[in-house]
Chains A and B, each alone.
Chain A
Amino acid sequence: MRIVIPVLLAVAGGLAGVLTDAFGGRRAGVALSAIGPAVGAGYAAWLVYTLDGNVIAYNVIVGGGGFSGIPAIVLALAALSIVGGWAWFTTSPAGGSAAALVALSGAAAAALSGAVDMVFILVALECLALAAYALVAQSHNARADEAAMKYVVQGAVATSLFVLGTAVLVGVYGGQSTIFAIQATAARAEGMTPLAGAMALVVAAFAYKLGGFPFHSWAPDAFETAPPASAGYMAGAPKVAAVLAAFLVSSLLFGATLLPSWQLSWEIAGISIDIDQPRIAMAWAVLAAGSMIFGNLAALRQRSYGRMLGYSGIAQVGYAMIGLTIGERVVGSTMLLMSAYAFAALAAFLGAEALRCRRPGWDGTIDGMAGFGRSNSVAGLAVAVAMFSLTGIPLTAGFWGKLLVFGAAVGFGWTWLVVIGVLGSVVSFGYYGAVLRAMYFEPAAETPSADEIATCGRAATWTAGAAALAVIAIGITPLIWGLEFVQRFLAFG
């Protein structure tokens, strides 16, 4: 039962935070909201090293190994984003409850990582979504309201798809909602129509939640309008957890043993094309290709930093979907890719928070970041590291994620996806590089006074620096000590 303690700690932190805030203790409240997930993350990390193998609690959630490693990562992301957004959370009108929401959302993400019950997964996804809707609306302006509404409506569609899929699975296959029970019944059942239908519904729902093409249109608005500190959390942690859940569901319920391969062959102009792949793999492969192509090309056209990160997130999810295409053999590598993305996104958004603090008139564009790397070297470096890691340049964590996932994909015969992935990564430097270009190659627009430098955005700066340092550390240490440390943290037995 120890494995749910991290979730409970984060929930306790969030509740204590919102209560303290209600009685006027804003700073203490935000601090409690950060401490809850931080302690939870520490405990989960400790579980990784003390639990032998995987254990299941209450028949709904698995822990141990990577199933405790991912909760540790998402809770750490929640805690870091609260600390990094300290200035915003402690001063903005609804900042106290926003911090609590981040803590509670972290708890939901931690619960989702390792959930093995369809109804439990649904509830965890909904908790994540509810917190996210509220966080998007935090900026209290017309654009934020519109973005939040768009997000709510589209999220509702995703939820209904997931509910329908779950209803089919539970209704047709024995009335139990545990994945293992459904799996066992489905293996004995004849015909596969209901299972294939449920697969389409559930995969589409996950694609919505992950913001993959063509279910992505809420994402750029949401990331652009949310306050950077919470956007940094939202862009990463919930997706990390959702990818792990998608892995469990798609490999346990819709894997090749239950759903036979999809065989097609046709001839075009003398070239015969044969497809013989598991249905679930084809579904993810199409989504992956679409997300990588669309996300990268759309991000290229953005002037706004937040929107650029939003669209690039679509491409990043596309890379993770290559992992989903291959299946359970690459869970660890894919989770490394997603975790690297989440930390880099956090550093990128917190860097923006530091910039906004430094230049209150910043219009949110990439051009408006001119000279930022020269005027705030720590936050600038953090953003630069994030951009290199998101591109997948060596010496960053992002490189290992992409290397391992792409390498496995080549090995399992998905070279065409890898080609799209690497070309997409090259294209992505077009927009990630634009940020570097603005920050370092252009002169700074204004120089703030010494006082401002001393205090403003300090928390965001140093937290972004810490996240970037983690990205670099995971990028360099495997060269010398190998990937064992990482693999241990992300071992999925």
Chain B
Amino acid sequence: MTVINVDLLVIVPLVAALAAAVAGRAARWVSLAGSVATLGVLASLAGSGVFTGQAVSGAAGVASVVPFWALVMDGLSTPLVALTAFLGLIAVLASWGVSERPAPHHALLLALEAAVMGVFLAEDIILFYVFWEAVLIPMYFLIGVWGHERRRHAATKFFLYTLAASALMLVGILMAWFAAGTSRIPDMAADPSVLPATAVFWLLTIGMLVKIPVVPLHTWLPDAHVEAPTAGSIMLAGVLLKMGGYGLIRLVIPLAPTEFALQQPFFAALGIIGIVWGAAMAFAQTDLKRLVAYSSVAHMGFVVLAISTGTAAGLSGAMLGMVSHGVVAALLFLLVGQLYERAHTREIARFGGLGKIVPGWASALTFGALASLGLPGLSGFPGEFVAVIEGFRSFEWWVLPATVGVVLGAAYNLRAVREVNHGPRSGEWATLADLGPADWVPVVLLMVPIVVLGVWPALVTDIAEHALAAIAMLVSGGM
């Protein structure tokens, strides 16, 4: 067994959150230390083989006398855990300059990181639900206290919307728990035939679909993303949405494989609607942050389409899509946040010619937009390419509308770049300051995985391969 165990991935950020809460002015240093330490824990797990897809349990999970606390890190969770740890650090760097009540802000960020880690690591369905709901609390306060003008409305809508979905999910979880007589996910999945499949499937699916979110259950997302502070948007788009996709793969398919197999076209339709609707809405936005928010709906649509295929390759595409969107959306929200800090507006129409005024920022935006539109060689491409290819294999010409979404994706991203970076220089921004060294740190950190995953997607897919192949077997019925 390894010396440093999986439990620390939850405990370290949690302890750091408590420390940051009482650290006063030093909170940002505490939270930086906490998020770096979490990454350190992750790195130290390398020796146990998690990065080759091996499953490693937390200490309490091994003892197995504990009723609920059971954590496991396997091929399915490792990529998302790594994403969470990484974006946790980025979120801390992005909120380095927060001046209003920084201690609770940093504490909530780290608490959020701990809760999301718990979601991705839980091996027990009750523990999963506990973390799933616990995520809402810090996010609610982050949006409500540190958000922009309509933060109160956005925070309440976010909380109520996702609480409603997860309340229904809880009913499904309770039904599965009672029918299976155990709350350990692998034990429940060992014999899904004893579960009330239809009810469990739909109740869990609703919870996941709102979180992802799919059209038409997405209306909380633009508000929450736009009103959240930059670090909140990064975590929200980067990791919180992934909880939905992860839940579909981790819970819905294993607990109700036959029901899922029946409903594959339903998921595909939702995915395609999301792709087209999200892209079309993004194209219509006049607010840069809202544009990025709607682009999330489109990208998550590709993830849902990829999951709907139920094949090993499709699920790998979904995993890649989630990790890639995590870093790309984080970069775009970070850049929009940096622009807003300087210009105090996000109206696309008011900008122009920023390429000349703030060349550093503008080139970073161009890079982010290219990654978002799925330029080959950057991380957005492989996942969405696989989604469409696998979608075509499963559903043939029905996926054609998704390609419209791809074209629209190029259109809205390039339009944003053209109107903000190029065109006539607008006089009111002549004195805008370009990115300073401290601003560059998180930007560059985010660019690295975008390039690396673009040229070497196997980095993610190799880890997840075995776990996803097993799940794909469930869907095809070849137990």
A residues near B (Cβ < 8 Å) are 388, 391, 393-395, 399, 403, 406-407, 410-411, 415, 418-419, 422-423, 425-426, 429-430, 433, 436-437, 440-442, 478-483
* Residue of A393, A394, A422, A478 with most chain B CB atoms under a 10 A cut-off: A394
Q: Given A411-B178, A433-B160, are A479 and B136 also a contact pair (CB < 8 Å)? A: no
Interface string of B254-284 (1 = CB under 8 A from A): 0000000000000000000000000000000
Given contacts A410-B174, A415-B171, 8 further A-B contacts (CB under 8 A): A395-B130, A395-B134, A410-B178, A422-B171, A423-B164, A423-B167, A437-B152, A440-B144
* Residue of A415, A426, A437, A482 with most chain B CB atoms under a 10 A cut-off: A426
CA separation between A482 and B163, bound complex, in Å?
Answer: 25
Task: Return the contact of A441 from the options B130, B131, B144 (Cβ within 8 A).
Answer: B144
Cβ-defined contact, B174 with A406, below 8 A: yes
B28 at the interface (CB under 8 A from A): no
CA separation between A411 and B183, bound complex, in Å?
Answer: 14
Cβ-defined contact, B177 with A482, below 8 A: no
Cβ-defined contact, A479 with B127, below 8 A: yes
Cβ-defined contact, B133 with A480, below 8 A: no
CA separation between A56 and B342, bound complex, in Å?
Answer: 74
CA separation between A286 and B60, bound complex, in Å?
Answer: 42
23 contacts between A and B (CB under 8 A): A393-B137, A394-B131, A394-B133, A399-B130, A399-B133, A406-B170, A406-B174, A411-B174, A415-B175, A418-B171, A426-B163, A426-B164, A426-B167, A429-B163, A430-B160, A437-B152, A437-B156, A440-B145, A441-B144, A480-B66, A480-B69, A481-B66, A482-B67
Q: Given A393-B136, A403-B126, A429-B159, are A482 and B171 also a contact pair (CB < 8 Å)? A: no
Task: Return the contact of A394 from the options B134, B141, B171 (Cβ within 8 A).
Answer: B134
**Which residues of chain B come closer than 8 Å to A406, judged between CB atoms?**
170-171, 174
Inter-chain CB contacts under 8 Å: number: 84
CA separation between A483 and B60, bound complex, in Å?
Answer: 15
CA separation between A442 and B155, bound complex, in Å?
Answer: 13
**Which residues of chain A come closer than 8 Å to B144, judged between CB atoms?**
436-437, 440-441
**Which residues of chain A come closer than 8 Å to B131, judged between CB atoms?**
394
Nearest CB on B from A75, distance (A): 29
Chain A, residue nearest B169 (CB):
A422
Query: DSSP majority for the B interface?
Result: helix
**Which residues of chain A come closer than 8 Å to B137, judged between CB atoms?**
388, 393, 395
Cβ-defined contact, B171 with A483, below 8 A: no
Cβ-defined contact, A433 with B159, below 8 A: yes
CA separation between A480 and B130, bound complex, in Å?
Answer: 12
Interface size on B, residues (CB 8 A): 34
Nearest CB on A from B142, distance (A): 11
B residues near A (Cβ < 8 Å) are 60, 66-69, 126-127, 129-131, 133-134, 136-137, 140-141, 144-145, 151-152, 155-156, 159-160, 163-164, 167-168, 170-171, 174-175, 177-178
Nearest CB on B from A468, distance (A): 14
CA separation between A418 and B174, bound complex, in Å?
Answer: 10
**Which residues of chain B come closer than 8 Å to A436, judged between CB atoms?**
140, 144
CA separation between A480 and B68, bound complex, in Å?
Answer: 7
Chain B, residue nearest A430 (CB):
B160
Cβ-defined contact, A480 with B60, below 8 A: yes
**Which residues of chain B come closer than 8 Å to A407, judged between CB atoms?**
174, 177-178
Cβ-defined contact, A419 with B171, below 8 A: yes
Nearest CB on B from A181, distance (A): 37
Nearest CB on B from A481, distance (A): 7
CA separation between A406 and B129, bound complex, in Å?
Answer: 14
CA separation between A406 and B168, bound complex, in Å?
Answer: 12
CA separation between A435 and B464, bound complex, in Å?
Answer: 44
Chain A, residue nearest B199 (CB):
A415
Q: Given A430-B160, A479-B69, are A441 and B171 also a contact pair (CB < 8 Å)? A: no
Nearest CB on A from B66, distance (A): 6
**Which residues of chain B come closer than 8 Å to A399, judged between CB atoms?**
130, 133
Cβ-defined contact, A410 with B134, below 8 A: no
Nearest CB on B from A286, distance (A): 21
Nearest CB on B from A170, distance (A): 40
CA separation between A407 and B126, bound complex, in Å?
Answer: 11
Cβ-defined contact, A479 with B68, below 8 A: yes
**Which residues of chain A come closer than 8 Å to B168, judged between CB atoms?**
422
Cβ-defined contact, B155 with A437, below 8 A: yes
Chain B, residue nearest A438 (CB):
B152
Cβ-defined contact, B66 with A441, below 8 A: no
Nearest CB on A from B443, distance (A): 31
Closest 8 CB pairs of A and B: A394-B130, A482-B67, A422-B167, A411-B178, A410-B174, A441-B144, A394-B133, A426-B164
Cβ-defined contact, B155 with A441, below 8 A: yes
Chain B, residue nearest A476 (CB):
B130
CA separation between A407 and B152, bound complex, in Å?
Answer: 33
CA separation between A483 and B69, bound complex, in Å?
Answer: 12
**Which residues of chain B come closer than 8 Å to A423, judged between CB atoms?**
164, 167
**Which residues of chain B come closer than 8 Å to A481, judged between CB atoms?**
66
Chain A, residue nearest B124 (CB):
A479
**Which residues of chain A come closer than 8 Å to B151, judged between CB atoms?**
441
